[in-house]
Amino acid sequence: MNIHEYQAKKLLNSFNVATGYGEPAETAEEAVTIAKELSQEFDTKTWVVKAQIHAGGRGKAGGVKLCKSLDEISSYASSLLGSTLVTQQTGPKGQVVRKIYVECASNIASEFYISLVLNRNTQQVCIIASAEGGTDIEEVAEKNPDKIVNLGICSVSGIQGYHSRRVAATLGILDKTKEILHLLQCLYETYLDCDCSLIEINPLVLTKEGSLLALDAKISFDDNALYRHKAIEALNDRFEEDAAETEAKKYDLSYVKLEGNIGCLVNGAGLAMATMDIIQHYGGSPANFLDVGGNANKEQVSKAFQIILKDENVKAILVNIFGGIMRCDIIAHGIIAAASEMQLKVPLIVRLQGTNKDLGKQILNESGLNIIAADGLDEAAKKAVAALKD
């Protein structure tokens, strides 16, 4: 799960990480009121207004603006709210801006990059830092890999003095080693306490006044640990997620919408990936990744089928089930239940293997549904691609 920048900053503040001062707004009037309050409290005459979407690259896409008057805030906020922002990270469709964040402008002397992320190879949380802040870290990694430092954190000893010295040296601010140590300790505590999978501060800035501030913040959480963090779960902004993906989550289905037109209903993540690959191999394009899991019941299968059917891009559906723990007859009943509620207007290709496959096939055959049966994975994919042309 991801959260907005303003939420991430509030969370970081509660772990003693210094950020810019600001508040979120949903209307231009609110933004102006917040700016007035900020100027009274912090004696500022310049503000930064930032689009709140779950994607970075806003600065380059016109979603971050330095404003020098309340009028400027009002007109920028009005134009930004409700608009669709297309950044490097949103994909071509972009994301609608429903919230903005008004923050005191900082006097930036330098911008750095710092993040904590899980390194699965070393099974450690690691610190990634670079003096090239404010830009794409991926680009720095490609063009100037030696400008990035990557340090593992031992889960027993935690953040140590050498971490802060290496980071401070990389950022070229050895005189701030103590402050970096404090920052790393606070970030690491946040990471562990909140079961994060990523904390990314880009940029971390050194202000002209000499303090270190997180000017941007991205935090992702481990979905499997969210049940331990009800307050964090409540920060979820459902508008930032695909509606079908949110619906799928409610039923414990792993669903990711894609751009293609062959809907896939599969059990097991590996088989789902293989199915997508083989569809592409035969010239088709999958409309989704969908893993109903090993022990789904009829309701879950039926829900999964409905979610696929609701996608208007779907022009054919491929059901590819290897019945192990999952029984093929349950899949068949789920499909029939869903098809009886929603009209099935697209070709349905079904490949059933494993436990109760004959029973499953029989149930589907007797259902009166127009089904194209397939035996192997190749045949199923070929038939799905061919069905698009009919």
**Positions marked catalytic:** 113, 200
| C-alpha–C-alpha distance, residues 78 and 279, integer Å | 45
What the block records as the tokens of 53 is: 């979407």
For residue 387, CA distances in Å to 21, 318, 347, 358 come to 57, 10, 7, 24
H-helix segments, 202-297: 230-233, 243-250, 269-281
| C-alpha–C-alpha distance, residues 195 and 193, integer Å | 6
For residue 286, whether the previous peptide bond is cis, meaning omega lies within 30 degrees of 0, is: no
Looking at the Cβ atoms of 104 and 350, the one nearer to Mg ion is 104
Stretch that binds Mg ion, among 92-100, 197-205, 294-302, 325-333 (CB under 5 A): 197-205
* Binding of residue 70 to ligand ADP (CB under 6 A): no
Q: How far is the CB of 101 from ligand ADP (least distance, A)?
A: 9
Q: How far is the CB of 255 from Mg ion (least distance, A)?
A: 29
Stretch that binds ligand ADP, among 98-106, 161-169, 296-304, 374-382 (CB under 6 A): 98-106
Q: Which does 57 bind (CB under 5 to 8 A by kind): Mg ion, ligand ADP, none?
A: ligand ADP
Looking at the Cβ atoms of 216 and 240, the one nearer to Mg ion is 216
Binding residues for Mg ion, how many (CB under 5 A)? 2
| C-alpha–C-alpha distance, residues 152 and 20, integer Å | 28
Q: Which does 192 bind (CB under 5 to 8 A by kind): Mg ion, ligand ADP, none?
A: none
* Binding of residue 19 to Mg ion (CB under 5 A): no
Q: Which does 323 bind (CB under 5 to 8 A by kind): Mg ion, ligand ADP, none?
A: none
Q: Please choose, from the candidates 57, 61, 67, 8, the residue with its C-alpha nearest in 3D space to the C-alpha of residue 34.
A: 67
Q: Which of 62, 94, 134, 152 binds ligand ADP (CB under 6 A)?
A: 134
CA triple 186-188-21, angle to 5 deg: 40
> Using CB under 6 A, which residues numbered 295 to 334 contact ligand ADP?
none
Match 């690491």 to its residue by tokens.
188
Looking at the Cβ atoms of 20 and 347, the one nearer to ligand ADP is 20
Q: Which of 200, 216, 240, 329 binds ligand ADP (CB under 6 A)?
A: 216
What the block records as the tokens of 349 is: 């290709």
Give DSSP secondary structure letters for 23-73: EEESSHHHHHHHHHHHHHHH--S-EEEEE--S-S-TTTTT-EEEESSHHHH
Q: Which amino acid makes up residue 367?
A: S
* Binding of residue 20 to ligand ADP (CB under 6 A): yes
Q: Which residues pair with 289 in a beta bridge?
A: 256
Give, for 108, the enclosing helix (H) or strand (E).
strand 108-119
* Eight-state DSSP code of residue 129: E
* Binding of residue 261 to Mg ion (CB under 5 A): no
* Binding of residue 200 to Mg ion (CB under 5 A): no
Q: Which of 24, 56, 284, 286 binds ligand ADP (CB under 6 A)?
A: 56
* Binding of residue 5 to Mg ion (CB under 5 A): no
Q: How far is the CB of 48 from ligand ADP (least distance, A)?
A: 4
Burial of 46 (0-12, 13-18, 19+ CB in 10 A): middle
Binding residues for ligand ADP, how many (CB under 6 A)? 18
Looking at the Cβ atoms of 204 and 352, the one nearer to ligand ADP is 204
Q: How far is the CB of 16 from Mg ion (least distance, A)?
A: 21
* Binding of residue 200 to ligand ADP (CB under 6 A): no
Looking at the Cβ atoms of 25 and 64, the one nearer to ligand ADP is 64
Q: How far is the CB of 133 from ligand ADP (least distance, A)?
A: 7
Q: Which amino acid makes up residue 348?
A: L
Q: Which of 70, 86, 96, 105 binds ligand ADP (CB under 6 A)?
A: 105
Q: What count of other Cβ atoms lies within 10 Å of the Cβ of residue 193?
A: 12
Stretch that binds ligand ADP, among 100-108, 242-250, 252-260, 375-383 (CB under 6 A): 100-108
Strand ranges, E, within 178-253: 196-207, 212-214, 218-221
Contact 51, 100 (CB under 8 A): yes
Q: Which of 17, 38, 111, 306 binds ligand ADP (CB under 6 A)?
A: 111
Contact 195, 225 (CB under 8 A): yes
* Positions that interact with ligand ADP (CB under 6 A): 20, 48, 50, 56-59, 64, 103, 105-106, 108, 111, 134, 202-203, 215-216
* Positions that interact with Mg ion (CB under 5 A): 202, 216
